[in-house]
Structure 1
Amino acid sequence: MPNLHDAYGRDLDLNLLRVFAVVAEEGSITRAAARLYVTQPAVSASMRRLTAFVGSDLFAREGRGIVLTARGTELLAAARAYLQPLVAAALAAPGFDPRLTTATVRIGLADSMEALLLPPLLRLLRAEAPGLTLVVLPVQFRTVADTLLQHRVELAVSVADELPRSILRQPISLRRRSASAFVCLYDPRFSKLPKKLTEHDYFARDHVAVSYAGDVRGIVEDATGKVRRVRVSVPSLVSVAEVVDGSSLLATVPALLAEHVLKSRSHLRIVPLPFRLPGAEIELLWARTTDDDPTLRFVRALIPRALRSETHKPQACSP
């Protein structure tokens, strides 16, 4: 039996079979053309091409209409056996049951999101999709677009700058402090800070900086034009709490992350910064080509729920 590859090699346009089926059902070139929203000559030309391909007449004149020949009847039965499942497959809703899925989803997370998002997200997955596996990769605003476009991850939660139109973005609404998106995190056992920190106090202290470029510059230097006394620079926010704990170093971190840290390190403290830093919105990002994937759509819906459940919990106090 010839396969589709053979048919393509012989220049068979499979759309001819659809036109043929409609002509056979209508018994008229004219009525078939009206049903297909094409001209009568176009339908006639299609039937001539199919007849030439088959090598046998498919219709015969009968009165004012046309009827199938024996070869045409045989072809119609075979064509319907293929066309009907194709139509059904095209119209069927994608089958996805989160309770049964064993899919693996690769997700890129900004460093501030790992501790904040993963625990509540895993709790939701355990309850709603226990067989789904997450693979987490680090991303940041400079790398997230390439990471998505090169398919190293399927979803990302991060701050992002300008993105190509091939990447879709959804802001994630979170509870934020009204004064600033950043705060100063410190250990009061080793650093005595006033409740209202001044710029002089801030820049007179030693700091831990987060630099994705491998230097001692960070968001404070970029925003204020002033230079901190940086004693250590780390490549991500993940280790900042460990560095601050038990030291006299100050860390400038997102307020949401600082509040999360205080839940497990209640002896640390936070104070507002003496200047404003530009806040950046956390967004959920994914490639346009995966927008209709049912598994990814399910996980995309869980992520804002997970973050809201975490950030709406009562926060630790900072005297």
Structure 2
Amino acid sequence: MPDIYGRTLDLNLLRVFAVVAENRSVTQAASRLYLTQPAVSAALRRLTTAVGAPLFVRQGRGLVLTARGERLLASIHPHLQSLVDAALAPPSFDPRTSDRTLRLGLSDATEVWLLPPLLRVLEREAPRMRVISLPVQFRNVAAVLASASIDAAITVADELPASIHRQTLYWGGFVCLFDPRHARLKRTIRESDYFAHEHVIVSYNGDLRGVVEDALQKSRRVRCSVSSFANLGAIIDGSALLATVPLLVAQQILAVRPHLRTAPLPFELGGAPMELLWPAAVDDDEACRFLRSRIARIVEEMPVSGTRPSEEKRLGRGADKTRPQ
């Protein structure tokens, strides 16, 4: 760090000095600065002591700069104006020319449905902007956001510090995904049939429990547990396994494998809202605002069903949001 930051000179004294030099009067400078005359005089004395030489001499009823004062004024004036301009200048962000790189914390499920449309939006509106996707879960999202290693995250979350802002994107429901060629199910699945079948689950904890076990306190016949949604469609395809997945994930899988099917679950499964989260420090960052607004618009245009925000009180915040299935 430059040594100037460690010195005792109060940089506000330079502003007082510049206004006095412009007005050649302590009284008029005090009026412009909304200070008392003694306060301005005291500031000039402190600056004179720091500089080690007189900056003004009295001439008649006014003040004139000494040679040392003239040199100081010539040196600081352009810098003071630059500081004022920098502080008061309006944002200059233009998505068409911005080359910012923003970091998003996403679960693998969110990557599936968000990144494709988001990248198409950026291609049209911000062709030079780039996005880095990093994995987050509800357990670590607060720490990741607090570390400033990401600019925003999309996940479910419990209590968060006041320094993290949050916006509900949607309340996503769950559906049962299966291959009708192998899993013989009726259009309306009975609960007994659901639990009679074998299942594949996504578990971020690396175990055989999921949200169904936590919500209903009933165990499924879990044949396979995987750590992400990436290959879930391929696992279901050609098998009799069932998967309980978020609706948006199911829609993305069906877009690639239209011969698979979904059906409503035979029981009510509570959930929590998917939220857009960001640190307060980037709340006024124009590039981050642009990206958040485009994410919200993408969600608004998506055909999302399931629980709604009005059901939050009835359903609560979800039993265990670490286990998506």
Residues 35-184 of structure 1: matches in 2 within 5 Å?
Answer: 35-173=32-170, 181-184=173-176
What are the superposed Cα offsets for residues 139-179 of structure 1, whole Å, 9 maximum, x if unpaired? 221122222222332221111111112211111147x6xxx
Which deviates more from structure 2 when the two are superposed, residues 70-79 or residues 193-202? 70-79
Could you say if the C-alpha distance between residues 229 and 7 of structure 1 is closer, same or farther in structure 2, counting changes exceeding 3 Å? closer
What is the rounded CA distance, in whole Å, between the counterparts of 2:81 and 2:243 in structure 1? 64
Could you say if the C-alpha distance between residues 306 and 43 of structure 1 is closer, same or farther in structure 2, counting changes exceeding 3 Å? same
Residues 1-319 of structure 1: matches in 2 within 5 Å?
Answer: 5-173=2-170, 181-311=173-303
**Cα contact 1:111–1:140 (8 A) shared by 2:** no
What is the rounded CA distance, in whole Å, between the counterparts of 1:233 and 1:283 in structure 2? 26
What is the rounded CA distance, in whole Å, between the counterparts of 1:263 and 1:6 in structure 2? 61
**Cα contact 1:209–1:216 (8 A) shared by 2:** yes
What is the rounded CA distance, in whole Å, between the counterparts of 1:159 and 1:9 in structure 2? 44
Could you say if the C-alpha distance between residues 22 and 308 of structure 1 is closer, same or farther in structure 2, counting changes exceeding 3 Å? same
The residue type paired with residue 135 of structure 1 is: I
> Over aligned residue pairs, what C-alpha RMSD do you find?
2.0
The residue type paired with residue 103 of structure 2 is: R
What is the rounded CA distance, in whole Å, between the counterparts of 2:4 and 2:264 in structure 1? 71
Counterpart of 1:315 in structure 2 is none
**Equivalent position SS for 2:41:** helix
**Equivalent position SS for 1:172:** strand
Shift of 1:311: 3.3
Which deviates more from structure 2 when the two are superposed, residues 5-14 or residues 120-129? 5-14
**Equivalent position SS for 1:106:** strand
Could you say if the C-alpha distance between residues 6 and 280 of structure 1 is closer, same or farther in structure 2, counting changes exceeding 3 Å? closer
**Equivalent position SS for 1:274:** coil
Shift of 1:227: 0.6
| Paired residue total | 304
What are the superposed Cα offsets for residues 31-76 of structure 1, whole Å, 9 maximum, x if unpaired? 3223222332221111001111222222222344333333323322
Could you say if the C-alpha distance between residues 308 and 260 of structure 1 is closer, same or farther in structure 2, counting changes exceeding 3 Å? farther
Shift of 1:208: 0.8
Counterpart of 2:322 in structure 1 is none
**Equivalent position SS for 1:105:** strand
The residue type paired with residue 36 of structure 1 is: L
The residue type paired with residue 20 of structure 2 is: V
Task: Give ranges in structure 2 of 5+ residues lacking alignment.
Answer: 305-325
**Cα contact 1:113–1:157 (8 A) shared by 2:** yes
What percent of counterpart residues are identical? 57
TM superposition score normalised by structure 1: 0.88
Could you say if the C-alpha distance between residues 80 and 139 of structure 1 is closer, same or farther in structure 2, counting changes exceeding 3 Å? same
What is the rounded CA distance, in whole Å, between the counterparts of 1:236 and 1:106 in structure 2? 20
Which deviates more from structure 2 when the two are superposed, residues 82-91 or residues 286-295? 286-295
TM superposition score normalised by structure 2: 0.87
Counterpart of 1:317 in structure 2 is none
**Equivalent position SS for 1:194:** coil
Counterpart of 1:316 in structure 2 is none
Shift of 1:80: 1.0
